[in-house]
Amino acid sequence: MDTDSGRDLISDLPQSIIESILIKVPLLDAVRTSILSRKWRYKWATITQLVFNDTCLIPCNDKSIVSCNLVNFITRCLFLHDGPIHKFELNTSYSPTSPDLDQWLLFLSRKDIKELIIDIGEDDWFRAPSCVFFCPKLTHLVLVRCELNPPPNFKGFLYLKHLSLQQVIIPPHDIEVLISSCPLLESLTLSYFDSLELTIRAPNLKYLNLEGEFKDIRLENTPCLVGISVAMYMTDDIAEHFEQSSGCNFDKFLGGVPCLERLIGHIYFTKYLSIGNEQGSFPVIYQNLKFIELYQVSFEDMKELLVVLRMIVSSPNLEELQISSSSITTTADIYDLDFWEKDWPADCTFSKLKIVHMTDFSGLPHEIAFIKFLLGHSPVLEQMIVAPTIYVTDKVVKMLIDLLTFRRASPLATVKFVQEPL
């Protein structure tokens, strides 16, 4: 296809480019390049990223054979590999047995591993061997369904920036120690932790992602937090705990995050924050908070409503607000709508608020009052999008009419009523 056809196009490219190419193909293909020619025999063996996933599986009817083949493939790859391994990812529904996994991890701990991602088996938990804790250069650790028991002489991961533990079993005290012993930690994700009381001390933490049955979350030393996403599930145990707890959760959680830019709360988050919250006190202003997303907010619970209001009033630069209503309707028939007239400071203005998106809207009095409030106090509002919940079909027209009559502080504001497809 060109003048000097027959000349090898690629084998003499610098190894950095070859590596750049080989890490972008599935590992199986990368290893296969070893039979292309003499020069390619060991080109794959020095790549610094090894990703084992379902693309490495050779299909076969017998599951145990597939599993065995995968184990062998991984073992042999590691055995033949030459040089440091910076990234190791194992992502498969098969569960390698403990001796294999332990040996691989031991091997990796000697190879300057920096990024370790292990997500194996569908139902089984594996026990992380202690060598995992002695990978000094680790910057990125993702573990799914494993048992972690930090040994007593574990001093922390000094370079760890990203930690993600999902469905991990670890003694509660140890998780706090683990977090606080990683001084450079920037991103923390904890998923599916049960009944955890958690205090987070991470001076460089920027992104926090929590999901699970948390009893208590305290952010004690997290001045750099920029993004928070929390989903709190409820159990009877936790509900009891909520009732008994003292102190203001809002302050404990959001008291020390002045740099916050994005806040996402799911399920019982607003309820959690409402405990101990005193109306009318706004000690902290979030100058950088631009995006707030709250899901399952109960507009029948005055306390939760107060939390929402406190949040948006404390965020003078808020640009986008998304709220979904909780569809649990309690029997509370008495709505203190006077609240909107009397108790709430009427002079607050949301001077940067541009987009408001209300979903699962059921036309509750406080929901409607809330929208009215927003419309009346947002001088630069561009879009107010309201999507009714699927359970309410009869009141839709009335709601629509009401909404359209509210006074709008912003000449640009459009109110959209969106019937979301089922």
Partner 1 sequence: MSGGPMAIVKPEMKSYIWLQTADGSIQQVEEEVAMLCPLIYKELIHNGMGSSKNCAILLPERVNPANLGLILEFCRFHQVSGRSNKERKKYDEKFVRLDTKMLCDLASAADSLQLRPVVDLTSRALARIIEGKTPEEIRETFHLPDDLTEEEKLEPLKNITDDPRIRLLNRLYARKRKALHKKEKLKNVEVVEEEHRVDERSVDDLLSFINSGDQDSKGVKVTKNKKKSRGRKEQGRNTSSNSEAGNYNKESNCLTSGTSVGSSPSRNSKLQNSPSELFSSKFDLDDFDIDDELDPARQEEIDREVEDFARRLNSVWPERIQQILSLGQERKRLGPISMNGNGSLKRCTAGVDRG
Query: How many other C-beta atoms lie within 10 A of the C-beta of residue 346?
Result: 10
Nearer to partner 1, 16 or 244 (CB): 16
8 Å CB contact between 95 and 120: yes
144 strand-pairing partners = 119, 166
13 binds partner 1 (CB under 8 A): yes
99 binds partner 1 (CB under 8 A): no
49 binds partner 1 (CB under 8 A): no
125 binds partner 1 (CB under 8 A): no
Nearer to partner 1, 5 or 331 (CB): 5
Q: How far apart are CA 146 and CA 143, in angstroms?
A: 7
Nearer to partner 1, 60 or 348 (CB): 60
8 Å CB contact between 218 and 252: yes
Question: In the bound complex, what is the minimum distance in angstroms from residue 256's beta carbon to partner 1?
Answer: 34
Residue ranges of the alpha helices (H) in 262-301? 269-274
Nearer to partner 1, 37 or 351 (CB): 37
Q: Please select the residue that binds partner 1; options are 1, 328, 334, 422, rule is CB under 8 A.
A: 1
Nearer to partner 1, 58 or 418 (CB): 58
8 Å CB contact between 224 and 203: yes
Nearer to partner 1, 19 or 293 (CB): 19
Structural tokens at position 270: 């607003």
Query: How many other C-beta atoms lie within 10 A of the C-beta of residue 243?
Result: 8
80 binds partner 1 (CB under 8 A): yes
Q: How far apart are CA 298 and CA 296, in angstroms?
A: 6
Q: Please select the residue that binds partner 1; options are 63, 72, 110, 240, rule is CB under 8 A.
A: 72
Q: Please select the residue that binds partner 1; options are 43, 47, 51, 79, rule is CB under 8 A.
A: 79
Q: Could you write out the DSSP letters of every residue in 78-141?
A: HHH--S---EEEEEESS---HHHHHHHHHHHHTTT--EEEEEE-SS--EEPPGGGGG-TT--EE
Question: In the bound complex, what is the minimum distance in angstroms from residue 47's beta carbon to partner 1?
Answer: 12
Question: In the bound complex, what is the minimum distance in angstroms from residue 106's beta carbon to partner 1?
Answer: 19
54 binds partner 1 (CB under 8 A): no
29 binds partner 1 (CB under 8 A): yes
Q: How far apart are CA 315 and CA 293, in angstroms?
A: 13
Question: In the bound complex, what is the minimum distance in angstroms from residue 145's beta carbon to partner 1?
Answer: 25
122 binds partner 1 (CB under 8 A): no
Q: How far apart are CA 327 and CA 321, in angstroms?
A: 19
Q: Catalog residues that contact partner 1 under the rule CB under 8 A.
A: 1-2, 5-11, 13-14, 16-17, 20-22, 24-26, 29, 31-42, 58, 64-65, 68-69, 71-73, 76-77, 79-80
